[in-house]
Amino acid sequence: MHITEILFLGGFVVFITAILLLDMLVIDRKAHVVSIKEAASWTGVWIALALLFSVFLWFHGDMVHGIHTFSDLQEVSGRYAAHIRLDPSDFEGSLQKYRHYMTISYISGYLIEKTLSVDNLFVMMMIFASFGVSKMEYQRVLNWGILGAIVLRFIFIFIGAAIINKFDWVLLIFGVFLVYSGVKMYLDRNKKEQIDVEHHPMVKFLSRHFNVYPKFAGDKFFVRAHRVNDKELELVSHSAEISDTDNKKVHNKKSRALLCMTPLFVTVLVIEFSDLIFAFDSIPAVFSVSLDPYVVFFSNIFAILGLRAMFFLLAAIADKFRYLKIGVSVLLLFIGIKLLIHEYVEIDSVMSLVFILAVLVVSIALSLMIPQKKNE
């Protein structure tokens, strides 16, 4: 990793952290139910930020890798885009060609991540409903969920890039997995998904290894409680309400008050677990448009940043895009096949972007134009 790449990545992380802190601690400090108008406005803001970054890549993308000479450009292009033809006699033209490749790959990756995220948002809706989370707390849970998703993406993307760099046949495994995911998603498109809270693997793990308080405690993620018996926990603040007989037992246990997770924090961890599973589709999919881990990371992060606002927007109109899942399955098939044949046929990044946009437009248009049958 070049020192310029480290500095740029560090600056990008600081910028994203500042935006998140501003959003979480200032703008959305007070819990409230998000309206469709507010969700639409913030969705527009996050999309605008993502597009502004694409403009930066178009004109100054070489800054990411610290490209100053033609040999620098050859080294970077050889690592991430060996198919691009560079002209030694035209450094500026070759540099512009690579910048444009970065930009198109970034937009394609952004659209893929955003589209695949829709399915994950539907899962989040089910998680909130299954756990009985108050709508007032949706924002708080999603804020921390998105923060965790960014950390996971950083780890997975750069580890994935290192593995691909060492074992390029891993791309074939990614391709097979994405084709399988696309076929499975198409076959299960009408399947009604449900979440069994009691038997969810994350809930079972947490219940077995940690102290989990069974009731919500406002907006708190953790509470202090003492154990009344093998199955019951009582909040420390409620001890005065216990009978005199039990009070002696409680008094003896106050010094051993347990730090317990609340169902609200468990919900955050279940969402993180869901995103972890989801990442096995999305990250290989984005690597299909670019092997540059920085482009993949940037596209993923900007797509994820807008998920919270997008969640509230989709929650109101989710049933109107019933053909989007078919569109997503087509995209997964296309991306998987692209990875499987990349050694023999190189599908141009512009063609990939056009195909992705066409699938999205067609699936959304069909959803809006074809009325839903009553028995669906």
Domain assignment present for 30: yes
Residue 345 lies in a domain: yes
Note whether residue 304 is domain-resident: yes
Dist CA 374 CA 169 (whole Å): 47
Domain annotation covers residue 133 = yes
109 burial (CB, 10 Å; 0-12 / 13-18 / 19+) is buried
For residue 292, count other CB atoms closer than 10 A to its CB. Answer: 25
Confidence of residue 240 (pLDDT cuts 50, 70, 90): very low
Pull the structure tokens for residue 192.
């009604």
245 in any annotated domain: no
Q: 54 with 103: CB under 8 angstroms?
A: yes
> What's the average model confidence in pLDDT over 269-286?
86
Tens digit of each residue's pLDDT (9 = 90 or more) over 40-76: 888 888 899 999 999 999 999 999 999 999 999 999 9
Residue 283 falls inside a structural domain: no
Residue 39, in any domain of the structure = yes
CA angle at 278 for the pair 274 and 279, rounded to the nearest 5°: 120
pLDDT in tens, 331-352: 889 888 988 888 888 787 788 8
Alpha carbon distance 354, 109 (integer Å): 12
CA 160 to CA 200: how far, in whole Å?
A: 28
Q: Quick: pLDDT tens for 71-129.
A: 999 999 998 888 888 999 999 999 999 999 999 999 999 998 888 887 777 788 888 88
CA 344 to chain centre: 31
Q: Provide, rounded to the nearest whole percent, the portion of the chain with pLDDT above 70.
A: 90
The verdict on residue 256 lying in a domain is: no
What's the total number of domains in the chain?
1
Domain of 137 in residue numbering reads as: 3-191+291-369
**DSSP calls for 303-362:** HHHTHHHHHHHHHHHGGG-TTHHHHHHHHHHHHHHHHHHTTT----HHHHHHHHHHHHHH
